[in-house]
Amino acid sequence: MAQSSPPATSTRPLGVAILAILLGIYGFISFLGGLLIAVLSSYVITLGYTQAFGFTGVVAGLIIAILGLIVLGVAVGLWHLRLWALALAVIVLLVYILEPLINLARNVTSAGDAILGIVIPVLLLIYLLAVRRHFR
């Protein structure tokens, strides 16, 4: 009788688990904060103080809430080691790497600030690319 090998199990790297948890917390807080901004802005409108927040506050709150849900979805995708979540995280990290470079070219930030703004996204990008074989 031939022995069959056990099914391959996908282990979640610790760094991906930590990143997913932190993104989940951030997404949840962003979602709640966006809802709070939208609700308070609509309440301010009913009081007649449209100059304070008004319609713009409601729209901004809803946009923040939607972005929070997207981040929460990416966190769940990273937790379950989904390839689409890895691809989305890589795209976002590339944007975070380009942003300080663009600001440096426009003389908005100093070279030291640009380097500090690039270090963490580059390290996260390198890590995620190193563990990409775990994603399916």
Report helix, strand or coil for 50: coil
Using DSSP's 3-state secondary structure scheme, residue 44 falls into helix
135: left (phi > 0), else alpha (psi -120 to 50), else beta? Answer: beta
Q: How confident is the model at residue 50 (pLDDT cuts 50, 70, 90)?
A: low
Structure-token pair, residue 46: 């009913």
Query: What pLDDT does residue 9 have?
Result: 52
pLDDT digits (tens, 9 = 90+) for 76-131: 999 999 999 999 999 999 998 998 888 888 888 888 888 888 999 999 999 999 99
Flag whether the pTM goes above 0.85: no
DSSP 63-122: HHHHHHHHHHHHHHHHHTT-HHHHHHHHHHHHHHHHHHHHHHHTTSS-HHHHHHHHHHHH
Distance CA 36, CA 10 (A): 39
